[in-house]
A and B are shown apart, each in its own frame.
Chain A
C-alpha cells in the first residue's frame, strides 16, 4: 500500500463547477499537508499548505484536512479553464517539510 493515494483521474468538469480533489494517507505521523498544481511541461507550483487538521481558504481554493480519517481535500469554487492542470497532494511527517511524500496527481480539465 502506498503511503499516499490519489485518484489519477482524469477529471473533467464544466466551467463554474465546484471541484473536489482528494487524497488518503496511511502514515498517522503526517502533520503538514500541501497541494501543488502542475501545468503541462512545467514544474509543480505550491498552491496551498495546511498544518494539522482543519480548513484553510485562499480565494477560490479551500484545503481541508481530516486527520482522524487520514483524508485531505482541495476544493476549487467557480472553476476556470485556467485551473486545468494536474494537482498533486503532498505531505510530510515533520514541521519541516524537508522530506515530502507526493501523491500521483489528479489530472483536471475544466471545459469552457
Chain B
C-alpha cells in the first residue's frame, strides 16, 4: 500500500480565483490520478498524471481549467482555475501500486473545496 497526503484538506474560495491542491506519496509511483467526487456522486476521473509526460485528461476536463504538474515520482499538484460554484467538490488523488492480477489504486484523504 501507500500513504498519501493532500493539502489543503479543505478550503473555501471566492469565485474567479484559483486553488492548487498538493498530493504527496510516501513511495515512488509511476501513475497518479486526480478524481472529483461531487456530493452523492461517484468518483469521476479528471486526469492521469505520469512523471515526465503531459497529463492525460478525460472527456469534459481541459488543461486550462485543471492544470496538473508531476515534477517527480512522489508528488503532484492539481490546480482548479477560475473557480465557479460548480467546482465545489471533493478532489482526490490516487496512486497505482503494481502487483497481483491488477493494479490497485490507493487514495488520499481528499480536499473539500467550496466555491462561493
Contacts and interface: CB of A to CB of B under 8 A. Distances in A.
Interface of A: 4, 6, 8, 31-32, 34, 36, 41-46, 49, 51, 88, 92, 94-100, 102-105
Contacts of B105: 46, 97, 100
A102 B92 CA distance: 14
Contact of B102 (A4, A8, A32): A32
Main secondary structure, interface of B, reads strand
Contacts of B96: 96-98
A32 B101 contact: yes
B112 A98 contact: no
Contacts of A97: 96, 102-105
Greatest chain A CB density within 10 A among B4, B100, B103, B112 is at: B103
B110 A42 contact: yes
A96 B103 CA distance: 5
B53 interface: no
